[in-house]
Amino acid sequence: MINILDLDLKELKKWMEDNGESKFRAKQIFDWIYKKEVFQFEKMTNISKQTIERLKEAFYIGIPEVLEVFTSNIDNTKKFLFKYEDGNIIESVVMRYSYGNSICVSTQVGCRMGCKFCASTIEGMVRNLTSGEIIAQILKAQSEIGERISNIVLMGSGEPLDNYENVLKFINLVNSEDTVNIGQRHITLSTCGIVPKIKELADENFQITLAISLHAPNDKIRRNTMPIANRYTIEEIMEACKYYFNKTKRRITFEYALIKGFNDKEENARELSFILKKINCHVNLIPINEIKENRYKKSEAHEINKFKSILTNEGIETTIRREMGSDINAACGQLRRKYMKQ
């Protein structure tokens, strides 16, 4: 059985033709799923019974089941624990901003990058999610909140560039008028820095925002928490970022999670600004989410502000990430782990 969400409109049209159905039905089916949020073939009232039977023999509509929803009392952030057909569980988070709803989607079940501060990677990677399984997170979340989602960040569990083909197909799918029609400029892909894949992505000529999880001002500090730093140096990442910028003219975002006494000193900020001054970028400082599996602690507010002011004084645009949904364990991977333990 094929998950119909893994197909783009052209592929479904082809299937219809190959199977003796009229291909304009494909658009009608897409409208039911993506515009009307109808996730059962039987409810597609303008499709004949016979066609519906044939569709059901070949396809399923892979919408995950909602295991749990947590709503933040602070900022109305909603965290969904979704379960796919094969029993795998992932998390998606919907954040409400003044400019619209934003969703943080997962791209893999678990992750194999091994960053020490991150809960998603503790048990390794189970499997990649398909493009349809990623888009299904948006469809289900939209139908649950009863509102449109207009922004996507690929910052849930998983390393998007470690699931390159499916993530690429996902971006093309969501960007299409045939589906949820979310503009590329409303999509941010976050990576721990898989250099060759950053270059490949640049060559796609997308207009998406690239975010790099840097989290350290030099390789020595970076290697303490991020195994990928043994593979690629910061210098190589910067070179790939420049390549990305030159190709796309999109400003790069650098994420920097501040860990107390580890990467949050003034000298760290100075070293960071020295590297980043050479590149057109924006820095997002993230007070680290403390998880019980490790000993990393959040930097103090005054240290975070100091760090920010050093970067700002060097002319680097810097923001401190608002902590959304802190009362509902909204940080990566924490809920899934809690659930699996039970």
User: What residues form the annotated binding site?
Assistant: 111, 115, 118, 158-159, 190, 213-215, 289
Binding-site residues for S-adenosyl-L-methionine sit at 158-159, 190, 213-215, 289
Give whole-number Cα distances, 2 to 6, 38, 57, 106, 270, in Å. Answer: 8, 18, 9, 21, 52
Q: Which is nearer to ligand SAH, 141 or 214 (CB)?
A: 214
Annotated catalytic residue, options 104, 192, 281, 332 = 332
Please report how close the Cβ of residue 146 comes to ligand SAH at its closest, in angstroms: 27
Annotated catalytic residue, options 91, 133, 255, 303 = 91
Rounded distance between C-alpha atoms, residue 207 and residue 212, angstroms: 16
Q: Which is nearer to ligand SAH, 3 or 106 (CB)?
A: 106
Q: Which residue has the tokens 């089941």?
A: 65
Tokens of 253: 């975002």
Tokens of 189: 């892909």
Residue partners of 109: CB distance under 8 A and separation at least 6: 88, 89, 90, 125, 126, 127, 128, 129, 157, 158
Please report how close the Cβ of residue 220 comes to ligand SAH at its closest, in angstroms: 18
Please report how close the Cβ of residue 13 comes to ligand SAH at its closest, in angstroms: 33
Which stretches of 85-129 are assigned E, i.e. beta strand? 89-97, 100-104, 108-110, 125-128
Please report how close the Cβ of residue 23 comes to ligand SAH at its closest, in angstroms: 38
Among the listed residues 252, 255, 275, the one whose alpha carbon sits nearest the alpha carbon of residue 321: 255
Give the amino acid at 22: S
Q: Which residues bind ligand SAH (CB under 6 A)?
A: 113, 115, 117-118, 155, 159, 190-192, 213, 255, 257, 286, 288-289, 291, 331-332
Rounded distance between C-alpha atoms, residue 201 and residue 195, angstroms: 10
Residue partners of 189: CB distance under 8 A and separation at least 6: 154, 160, 161, 167, 171, 201, 208, 209, 210, 211
Query: Is 332 part of the annotated catalytic residue set?
Result: yes
Q: Which is nearer to ligand SAH, 84 or 254 (CB)?
A: 254
Q: Which is nearer to ligand SAH, 34 or 170 (CB)?
A: 170
Please report how close the Cβ of residue 47 comes to ligand SAH at its closest, in angstroms: 38
Q: Which is nearer to ligand SAH, 136 or 285 (CB)?
A: 285
Rounded distance between C-alpha atoms, residue 37 and residue 55, angstroms: 17
Q: Are 275 and 304 in contact (CB under 8 A)?
A: no
Q: Which is nearer to ligand SAH, 92 or 289 (CB)?
A: 289
Please report how close the Cβ of residue 272 comes to ligand SAH at its closest, in angstroms: 15
Rounded distance between C-alpha atoms, residue 117 and residue 135, angstroms: 27
Query: Is 104 part of the annotated catalytic residue set?
Result: no
Q: Are 89 and 98 in contact (CB under 8 A)?
A: no
Point out the residues that are catalytic.
Answer: 91, 332
